[in-house]
Chains A and B, each alone.
Chain A
């Protein structure tokens, strides 16, 4: 009973606060919008309206708070604290997904918005049933029929997997070198790995365009060294995409491996040698298994975002580079086919669920080992 009253009080305060925020926004948007041009009368009108709304909201909050008994204040504050980010995420994260799901079940239409059906609440119950009866899986069937889509999914998986392996091959020796570096060097090395994180992703991808293009710096260098006579065609191929992914996601691979290797107690390697291992077999029997968690974490951190990558294939890849992020973008912006774009997103999400769950498990396991 108590918690219900607390909840109700929280709702009242929250509603009043949201009302206040919204009225402020409306007021500000009339000021900057066309309302301002309509002259003094309209501004004065909206100002009065705003003052009234703001007063209502402040008064409600004040009165409720004033008449709240002391021992109720804390649970109400707690509810408000939980409620604010909760509502925000519900409204701007979960609800949008439901909308994507809904639109993926709708049909394309030449209308605004460009799909049917739209929910007509004014028609009452019939409106709702009509709405649901018109939803279908047509778009998903379409995804299986047109081989563009499943080829794009497959090629995304292939590119993500290959580039994860490549990133691991490049990243592991760096992480290993960092972990074995003299202690006074490590902080600097770590900062050097993190620094690119803060630099614009777009710029980092862009920087390769000048290097890899046909008359780019790499070809200039190789030709002046006499290694090749014809410029290599790298830009606008999958090779460029791999290079771009390895380059931009390298820190994600290095950091977890480094932190696993850094924790590794040097006496374990000595113990292995003492018990008859060579350096190399000590690496395979001790270092490798003990850095496994870091390698897995790093691989997922590269694989998951790469799967839906859009910028890299668009800038560095060619017309033949198929990645699902790019397909979705084009479906939406070029074809304006919202339902299909939504269906593509839903399927991509379903594919991502598996690695995300595996990643979570790995993290959980790591925490158990550490704790």
Chain B
């Protein structure tokens, strides 16, 4: 698994390719990027994830050179890129709309950037052929953009932005226009191409699944700030805030107060007359501190008898969502809070274990959840 080995951000000797240093960008009164500092390393597949308006596109446009930071500096390979215009940057961008030139053939679109560099003719055609092969577009070279499908257009846009072999490739919602199935295929294709070319990719997306699938690291953004930067697994298993936990995947959030410690375990009181939740904190909580307990539905087990588990809470089945591979039970607790529990349907049984209004027990281990401050 290259993913496990590839972790330049843990190596203090590694030089980052991009450095954002206290970058702020304001449009009039609106602050799009707020004092942001981040390092991105060579060969990374870095995802900027967040809802629309969180500043992720502004970050990307600053890298491409279409916006300049109001404050702070952006370094590319250690050099300030502020004075470099977009056409002189070793950075290329794949546009959300693809921005394919409608009057040029696929071949000419891919050759466009190479020709601007005044490269010799045979070098241009060699490189274009190479790109066409890479993106499996050889057959469509002579067509115009409106004569090919959406998925093919997406590949042309990728080929065109890769043709100049940029140090850094920016992808703005690259798969946004594709339907779900094609999008999933293309995600793997993107990863494949990224590995083959060894280019650093920075992708902007609002689709958390896409970010999780393709990226080596994900930066979750909100209101111009980066909330958390981590590998997809860490983002999912160890979110640093309820915002991240809630944004990525499905989560149950229970708000309570720390009441005491049992060794490295922390007890949380969360509702009158209910058993306390026991969790494992990764930071210090004093007694009486507010704690947000976050647990993924698939880590919550459901049973009819009270199980022998550090955490067992009674409740009543409120709703059932059958999704084929899994079922999600919405269980109402005594205080009215709804907790989601997921079970994998790994046996083909028509018999449903539980049905509406059944009294059930929810249980989870004392390491299954994450304890968050905010």
Contacts and interface: CB of A to CB of B under 8 A. Distances in A.
**Is there a direct interface between A and B, measured as CB atoms under 8 Å apart in the complex?**
yes
B127 to A, nearest CB: 13
A275 B164 contact: yes
Contacts of A281: 116
A27 B296 CA distance: 93
Interface stretch (A127-135, A213-221, A230-238, A266-274): A266-274
Contact of B97 (A267, A278, A289): A267
A285 to B, nearest CB: 8
A276 B112 CA distance: 9
A265 interface: yes
B260 interface: no
A281 B86 CA distance: 13
Contact of A271 (B85, B89, B95, B146): B95
Contacts of B112: 272, 275, 285
Contacts of A369: 102, 146
Contacts of B95: 267, 270-271
A274 B103 contact: no
Name the residue among B64, B99, B102 with the largest chain A CB count within 10 angstroms: B99
A283 B89 CA distance: 19
Contact of B87 (A267, A277, A286): A277
A168 to B, nearest CB: 19
**A interface SS class:** helix
Contact of A270 (B86, B89, B91, B101): B86
A290 interface: yes
- Please tell me the size bucket of the interface on B: 20 to 34
Name the interface size band of chain A.
Answer: 10 to 19
A277 to B, nearest CB: 6
Nearest to A271: B99
B102 A274 contact: no
Given A265-B99, A268-B99, A369-B146, A277 B92 contact: no
A276 B97 contact: no
B18 interface: no
Interface string A250-278: 00000000000000010110111111111
A276 B146 contact: no
Interface string B102-117: 1100000000110011
Interface of B: 64-66, 85-89, 91-93, 95-97, 99, 101-103, 112-113, 116-117, 146, 160-161, 164
28 contacts: A265-B99, A267-B95, A268-B99, A270-B86, A270-B95, A271-B93, A271-B95, A271-B99, A271-B101, A272-B112, A273-B65, A273-B85, A274-B64, A274-B65, A274-B93, A274-B113, A274-B161, A275-B87, A275-B92, A275-B160, A276-B117, A277-B116, A285-B112, A286-B101, A289-B103, A290-B103, A292-B103, A369-B146
Nearest 10 CB-CB pairings of A with B: A275-B113, A276-B116, A271-B99, A267-B99, A273-B86, A289-B103, A267-B95, A274-B93, A273-B87, A276-B87
